Structure 1
Amino acid sequence: TEIHYHAGEKVVVEGGMELTAKAGGSFVKIDAGGVTIRGAEVKVNSGGGPGAGTGIQILEPVIPWAAAKDKAGALLVPAAVQMALAKAARAAGDIRCPICEACREGKCDLGTVA
């Protein structure tokens, strides 16, 4: 896995208290105490070069598919529990089932609060 940062002019990475780059048992740490570099061998101006990644791989946009006609805009089907409560309330002569929104808000015509 790779993460690439690229800018034509400038890249700024800022850490409030500390900035650390760590790889392969070595690290570079910048904090209020200074710059710490630790590794098996620390080379300063003695050859080497930057690493190269695999580069960015942008996917081309594709033509979107049509929306599924059987899902968008379809009516919602009440859950079996809701249907059973509504049928029981109607059978008892009630206008609303005991867990309707009006009952939850304490405004139920039946005076019941769920």
Structure 2
Amino acid sequence: MKKLLLSLMAVFTITAVAATKEGTGLGYKDDITVSVETEGDKIVAIKVIKMEETKRIAEPAIEKLTAEIIAKQSVEVDNVAGATYTSEGFKEAVADALKK
């Protein structure tokens, strides 16, 4: 019985439903579009699909936000100083993707 239960648990763990969803939020210059990959309810990856922000400011901010959102499993993280509108737009885009 114990072996059967462990086998079933392994099957359910392996077959976690993976999904990729897109969302959009308003950044400083224009919309930011992201792709959010989830496994079940867990955020596992976030990728920027479209962004017109200033790269030298936005890219480090988005890298930091991505790590924090994945670690906390929430978009309720602090904005990055100097990239407030980009931060807000990125978090909005992730939240939009998670709603779908």
Fold similarity call, TM over 0.5: no
Greater fraction of residues in strand = 2
TM-score normalised according to structure 1 size: 0.24
Could you tell me the TM-score, scaled by structure 2's length? Answer: 0.26
Higher helix share: 2
